[in-house]
Structure 1
Amino acid sequence: MDGGRMPERAELRADCANCSGLCCVALPFTRSADFAMDKDAGEPCRNLLADSRCGIHADLRRRGFQGCTVFDCFGAGQKVTRETFAGRDWRDGPDVAHGMFQAFSVMRRLHELLWYLEEAVELPAAGPVRGELRRAADDVGRLTRGGPGELAEVDVRAVREKVDVLLLRAGELARAGVPGRREDRRGADLIGAKLKGADLRGACLRGAYLIAADLRGADLRSADLIGADLRDADLRGADLTGCLFLTRAQANSARGDAATRLPAAVERPAHWRPARPEPV
């Protein structure tokens, strides 16, 4: 960052009021359980209003647009709208629209990396790699300040591969301090797994498929969840205190309740229900 400043979490949170509705136009979706209709990339969603607000924002889930409530741009929308394109709008013409959509795709992935890097830098156990993490954050942050042409040339895959090495090391250092056996379930197929009450403290669940897994009351403290697929996972009563690299999108895709314990940086999803007593 400028002057060595790490990004503030506020800069990596979506601010729809300062975006031109990029996610509602640039991204495609297919009619499914997550979306009530088909939409091509570059086609404005039928629910997008002229002022770039969503016409059914308060009712997205009931109206069949659950996918919209899960998506998180990590603040890329307002960055591209307000900074990269200096307040211009994709409605200004095809050339502007194409450039904005391309920049948005790159910016979102870079901002996601910054989200992980900021968390990694703050890990008490990350001391041995903290300097490298800060330098990586500086490099990624510099890329986000490029113009439309510069962003179009960014090899995001190469950037991510470099950053992933550091994030993996930081996660390993953090998990090393967890007593007892630390499971390595990296990329594991745990779809629908019965893990109610499981002790998963310090487990490596990077990229694991936990779709519809029963994790009620599970202990996921200090577990590495980067890239884990938590769609429809049941997290009611689970403890994710201090888990590593959990995003808002992952939490939003899962099911939880008031008894689910989350890291401080991840807001409790509005659709999660209050805790209810387990049946006797």
Structure 2
Amino acid sequence: MSEDLEYSKATPDNSRLSLQADCESCFGLCCVALPFAASADFAADKNAGQPCKNLQDDFRCGVHDSLRQLGYRGCTVFDCFGAGQKVSRVTYGGLDWRKAPEFAKQMFEVFPIMRQLHELLWYLNEALTLGPARPIRGELSLALEKTEHLTNLAPDAIVKLDVAAHRADVNQLLLRTSELVRAAFLRSHKVPAGKRKTFSRGADLIGAKLRGADLRAANLRGSYLIAADLRGADLRGADLIGADFRDADIRGANLTESIFLTQAQVNAAKGDADTKLPLTVTRPPHW
């Protein structure tokens, strides 16, 4: 691999570790703040702000080891990017919504906003590890600092944030990162022009037959890959930000140098021991 294509080979650093969910340090916010509807992913309806019936007094899930068997597959896919412990321990300083019910409503409003900010931090941290993004590293660092600052605001200020506008600004940087990385990958690997896959953002690839496909450096941003057959596909260098991998079959697929892949996406897919993953995500126990 050329110097221009150097990727971070190390395990996640401290900044990345803080963006991984630590349920032991959270007051079960995802089990209360977020709504879900009875579906293939959830066995029952639940309104936002209503505690899940499986949430225990210690804020742990009473059926954690049986979620998939009981119809709560959606819970095994969700990832808060560390927003839960940030809101619980930092924003509210360890004040939990049961002992301080007067703060509960606001806390449940803050949590999904914090999750969006932490997701952006995850992407920005990754972008800063990518060699080809060197020309815009200064802009990425500034965006990271600004996003971190927003996560440390007081609750009243967080609920007033225009997160959509901030996401749009960061997304422009992430898009430029993607273009730089994918172009460098194509040059380095001498991928023939005829083999380069192009898709529009949000491409409908639901159930697509892509077994063994050469998707190196493909732009799959926001693509619907639900139940797609990606067995043995080569996704190295592909931009996977926001791609929907629910029930996508990635057994034997190579995603080692893909960019912006999250744990939630991996959790939602069907993989096996032969699926090659980046070091920033882990192999789900249900594979």
TM-score category, normalised to shorter length: over 0.9
**Cα displacement (A) at 1:137:** 0.2
Which residue is 1:184 aligned to?
Answer: 198
**Which amino acid is 1:227 matched to?**
G
Distance in 2, Cα, partners of 1:164 & 1:95:
36
**Cα displacement (A) at 1:99:** 1.3
Distance in 2, Cα, partners of 1:64 & 1:237:
27
Match of 2:267 among 227, 252, 266: 252
Is 1:223 matched with 2:238? yes
Contact persistence 1:196–1:215 (CA under 8 A): yes
Which residue is 2:134 aligned to?
Answer: 127
Which residue is 2:6 aligned to?
Answer: none
Contact persistence 1:193–1:213 (CA under 8 A): yes
Contact persistence 1:7–1:118 (CA under 8 A): no
**Which amino acid is 1:193 matched to?**
A
Distance in 2, Cα, partners of 1:7 & 1:256:
28
Matches within 5 A, 1:22-37: 22-37=29-44
Distance in 2, Cα, partners of 1:135 & 1:184:
31
Contact persistence 1:212–1:234 (CA under 8 A): yes
**Cα displacement (A) at 1:108:** 0.2
Is 1:71 matched with 2:78? yes
Contact persistence 1:200–1:221 (CA under 8 A): yes
Matches within 5 A, 1:1-280: 8-177=15-184, 178=186, 179-180=190-191, 181=193, 182-185=196-199, 186-272=201-287
Cα deviation 1:141-163 (Å, max 9, x = unaligned): 00000110111111110000000
**Cα displacement (A) at 1:75:** 0.3
Distance in 2, Cα, partners of 1:187 & 1:99:
33
Distance in 1, Cα, partners of 2:160 & 2:32:
22
Distance in 2, Cα, partners of 1:163 & 1:92:
37
Percent identity reads 61
Distance in 2, Cα, partners of 1:188 & 1:93:
45
Q: Normalization by structure 2: what TM-score?
A: 0.91
Distance in 1, Cα, partners of 2:87 & 2:252:
38
* Cα distance change of structure 1 residues 102 and 7 upon mapping to structure 2, 3 Å threshold: farther
Distance in 2, Cα, partners of 1:133 & 1:21:
32
Which residue is 1:278 aligned to?
Answer: none
**Which amino acid is 1:53 matched to?**
R
Of the structure 1 ranges 258-267 and 179-188, higher mean CA displacement relative to structure 2 is found in 179-188
Cα deviation 1:156-183 (Å, max 9, x = unaligned): 1000000000000001100002232332
Distance in 1, Cα, partners of 2:210 & 2:167:
31
**Which amino acid is 2:278 matched to?**
P
Q: Which one has more relative contact order, counting CA pairs under 8 Å at least 6 apart?
A: 2
Q: Which 5+ residue runs of structure 2 have no aligned equivalent?
A: 1-12
Q: Normalization by structure 1: what TM-score?
A: 0.94
Q: Which 5+ residue runs of structure 1 have no aligned equivalent?
A: 1-5, 273-280
Superposed structure 1 runs of 4+ greater than 2 Å apart: 92-95, 179-184
**Cα displacement (A) at 1:93:** 4.2
Which residue is 1:277 aligned to?
Answer: none
Cα deviation 1:47-92 (Å, max 9, x = unaligned): 0000000001111101110000000000000000000000011113
**Cα displacement (A) at 1:95:** 2.9
**Which amino acid is 1:144 matched to?**
T
CA RMSD after TM alignment = 1.1
